[in-house]
Amino acid sequence: MRLVLASGNAGKLAELRELLGAGFTLHAQSEFGLADAEETGASFIENAILKARHAARATGLPALGDDSGLCVDALDGAPGLYSARYAGTHGDSEANIDKLLRELDGVPDAERSARFVCVLALLRHADDPLPLIAQGIWEGRILHARQGRGGFGYDPVFFSPAHGCSAAELPADIKNRDSHRGRALAQLRAQLALRR
């Protein structure tokens, strides 16, 4: 199956290619010269659909949208939908992490609970009235400083109690198996199998 990933994020592309495996060819939207869709939705689901529809419309291919982010309890769910632009400049992970650590300055571990969320939307074509939607959640807490060099985005400050380390310290295959994105993709696969 040929699919376009409706994302400009290289970290997502690498993870989703690995997760989808050999049966799928996942094209980056940049291969088609596509700019990012406007993320105007009020929820992860809406944004995932907006992204996928934009890419399906422009390419004529089935499209996968991934809208994800980090929700921190002590910040009432922020950065949430705005995770990628938390510090102002879209996609500046270093600035986003700096701001997050500043906002949580002095907050003890017990109150630093957080979760990564990922919503995937698969549209068979731009006017698909019945997109497949899957969501995955990964529970953890925010560290006081960066740990590890793997992954992308907020991974260096996301501690996973189940693994005993940060997301950036996990081998890629373990992160993929247990992450919000890995869980969402497993659900999407199950739905695909049912639809066929």
Ligand X SMILES: O=c1nc[nH]c2c1ncn2[C@H]1C[C@H](O)[C@@H](COP(=O)(O)OP(=O)(O)OP(=O)(O)O)O1
Residue with smallest beta-carbon separation from ligand X: 153
Site size toward ligand X, by CB under 6 A: 24
Handedness of CA 100, 103, 106, 109 (dihedral sign): negative
Residue span binding ligand X (CB under 6 A) among the ranges 66-74, 104-112, 129-137, 187-195: 66-74
Question: 85 and 38 in contact (C-beta within 8 Å)?
Answer: no
Whether residue 67 lies in the annotated active site: yes
Residues of each annotated binding site for substrate: 7-12, 68, 152-155, 175, 180-181
User: What are the tokens at 177?
Assistant: 């198996």
Secondary structure element (H or E) that encloses residue 138, with its range: strand 132-142
Contact residue for ligand X among 155, 166, 184, 188 (CB under 6 A): 155
The one among 52, 58, 71, 84 contacting Mg ion by CB under 5 A: 84
Residue 169 engages ligand X in binding (rule: CB under 6 A): no
Task: Give the separation between CA 39 and CA 82, rounded to whole angstroms.
Answer: 9
CA distance 150 to 168: 4
> Omega before 79 cis (within 30°)?
yes
From Mg ion, ligand X, none, interface partner of 155 (C-beta below 5 to 8 A by class): ligand X
Options 27, 53, 141, 181; binder of ligand X; rule CB under 6 A: 181
Binding residue (CB under 6 A) for ligand X from 28, 55, 59, 67: 67
Tell me phi and psi for residue 2, to 5 degrees.
Answer: -95, 130
**Complex with Mg ion: residue 46 or 163, whichever CB lies closer:** 46
Query: How are strands ordered across the β-sheet holding 2-5?
Result: 25-28, 2-5, 63-72, 113-123, 132-142, 158-160, 165-166
Q: Does 154 bind ligand X (CB under 6 A)?
A: yes
Please tell me whether residue 32 binds ligand X under the rule CB under 6 A: no
Phi, psi of 56 (to 5 degrees): -65, -40
Q: Which is nearer to ligand X, 68 or 160 (CB)?
A: 68
Nearest distance, CB of residue 23 and ligand X, angstroms: 22
Task: Please report which helix (H) or strand (E) contains residue 16, including its range.
Answer: helix 10-20
Cβ closer to ligand X: 38 or 195? 38
Q: Contacts with Mg ion: how many residues (CB under 5 A)?
A: 1
Which residues are marked as active site? 67
Binding footprint of Mg ion on the chain (CB under 5 A): 84
